[in-house]
Structure 1
Amino acid sequence: MASDILQQIISGVPSDFADPKADYLSVRKTMAPFHGHAVGEDVEQTIKAYGGVDCGVYHLQGFHDDDFIALYFHGGALVSCPLSDYHFYAEIICRQLNMRTVMPDYRLAPEDPYPAAHDDGLAVYAALLAQGVAAEKIIVVGESCGGGLAIGSLLAARDRGLPMPAAFISITGWFDLSVSEYPASRDPFLTPEWVQNRGRDYVGQQMPLDDPRISPCYAELSGLPPLYLQVGQYDTMAPSALRLAHSATLAGVSVILESWPSMIHGWHGLISAGVPEAEAAWRHIRRFTDRLRD
């Protein structure tokens, strides 16, 4: 059962938060209050271009720099938000993992449709390698729709013969824009139709939503790095992560999958509200990354 504080937060989510009839402009307006929080005074942040893509670069003052980088693909349903609105989540990652974090300001739909965001992700990863960052020092993190973008970018990197990073971490990632399966219990932040509409915002009518280029749980996954996937029991996108895990395992990829009871989509971001389940999830992730850094 979810903690009292998480239940209070869930009860406060508007019933029409994921209104299937909402267009992308409405989505941006709805999401805005959840983002844009100021970062702590102990967070150093700069903007740097990698592969022609502006990226936020973040680290804590006085952190121990062991050359590891978290390459973080933010969420926002493919249509939201600007980089400035996601500084707070990059802070969560650099603080919880004690790691330099790079967050691409990938292009958003529908103004920049597929493959713009995927191309940006590949460009940033390739640029990090070209600038001398060792692949085994990169941990790719994908949150929500950023999970699918990250895997898609890594598949493109694989196909170009680029070395794979140390690992990929999914924070309730989207891996099936067709949402072919979903839990019976409703997630307050997502509905299947809402996710499908955001997929259409990105690809228009140029391809089906289960195309493996945008829904990587249907892709051929051999050669990917180890995958560490966290999903919530009630998360609308949890079945897509289960399918990704199954396909990756069959392809010989190392997979750790954690399904958290009573959890919803994106509960990790509620750590700033003192949600104990979010704190626990980040502790699990930190243990995983610490093993990679030993």
Structure 2
Amino acid sequence: MTSPELQAILAAVPAGFADPAADYRAVRATMAPFHDQPVSDATDVDMLELGGVPCGRYRRRGRGTGPGYLLHVHGGAFVSCPLAVYHFYGEMILSALERTVILPDYRLAPEHPWPAAGDDCLAAYRGLLETGVEPGEVVVLGESCGGGLALGALLRARDEGLPMPAGFVSLTGWFDLSMRGAVDGPDPFLSVDWVRNRGRDYTAGAVALDDPRVSPALAAPEALAGLPPLYLQVGQYDTVAPGALELARRATLAGVAVEMLGWPGMPQGWHGLLNAGVPEARAAWRDIRAFVDRRLPAHL
């Protein structure tokens, strides 16, 4: 049974939040109020460029942060929530995982269609390594559409000969934009056709939704070889969960170390409700921290 805190939030989600008929402008208007939250005085936020991509950096003010770096690719359905309204998520990750957090401000569709966002994610990862940070000091994270963008960037990084990070964490990531095998259910944040339409906003007809370049869950197993250890969290009611399950299956066949954790009763993106005091979000971040602490050094 879900907590009263989560039940109250889900009950307040507006009807039609994931209306398949909504265009990208409506999506932006609907999603912005959920994300534009203040950052506390306890967090230092500064901007830097990595690989030519503007990025936010989040560190604790007045006290140290654990070693290593968390490069997080944020969500927003490809079309909404630029970094200006996502600083709260960087602070939330910092609070939960106690490592320096970096969020690339990747370009949004449809003004910048595929492969712009993926290019920016790859450039930010490459740029971070070019500062002298060792790959073993980095865990890459991605939430919602950012999960697929981040994983796609790592596959391209591997193909370019870049070293892999210490690990990859997916927070209900989108790994199959064709939504093969997905069905509409009680998740108020997503519907099958809504996700497909956001995929079309991103791809702009340049590639099919089932192309592995935008849907890495549909890559042949051998094409996933060489990825870092994957830690995937999905919710029972998360509309995009079938894509994560398929990614886990194929990556395992490729010899990639995969940990997958399914959460009963959870919808898409419940991790983002940590600041609202949702206990399921708190528990999910505890598990993520255990993975990150195993993958990153305790001392540099």
| TM-score (norm. length: structure 1) | 0.98
Counterpart of 1:32, as a letter, is A
Q: How does 1:99-248 map to 2 (within 5 A)?
A: 99-183=99-183, 185-219=185-219, 220-248=223-251
Identity %: 58
1:249 equivalent in alignment to 2:249: no
After superposition, the C-alpha distances for 1:200-243 in whole angstroms (9 at most, x for unaligned) are 00111122101000001012210000000000000001111100
Looking at structure 1, the residues matched to 119 and 67 of structure 2 have their Cα atoms a distance apart, in angstroms, of: 25
Contact residue 66 and residue 100 of structure 2 kept, 8 A:
no
Change in CA separation of 1:29 and 1:119 when aligned onto 2, cut-off 3 Å: same
> C-alpha distance in 1, partners of 2:67/2:4?
39
CA pair 164-63 structure 1, distance change in 2 beyond 3 A: farther
**How far 1:63 sits from its partner (Å)?**
4.2
Please list the CA deviations of residues 220-274 of structure 1 after superposition, one character each: whole Å capped at 9, or x if unmatched: 2100000000000000011111001001000000000000000000001111111
Letter in 2 for 1:137: E
Which amino acid counterpart does residue 230 of structure 1 have in structure 2? Q
* Corresponding residue of 1:68: 68
Query: Per-residue deviation at 1:65?
Result: 4.1
Alpha-carbon offset, residue 287 of structure 1:
1.2
CA distance in 1, matches of 2:120, 2:168: 17
Q: Secondary structure at the match of 1:58?
A: strand
Give me the CA root mean square deviation.
Answer: 1.0
Runs of 4+ in 1 over 3 A off after TM superposition: 62-67
Return the alpha-carbon distance in structure 2 between the equivalents of residues 6 and 95 of structure 1: 20
Task: Kindly indicate whether the alpha-carbon contact (under 8 Å) linking 2:183 and 2:192 is maintained by their aligned counterparts in 1.
Answer: no
| 2:176 maps to amino acid | D
Q: Distance in 2 between matches of 1:195 and 1:181?
A: 13
Say how many residue pairs are matched: 294
Q: Secondary structure at the match of 1:68?
A: strand
Query: Does 1:287 pair with 2:290?
Result: yes
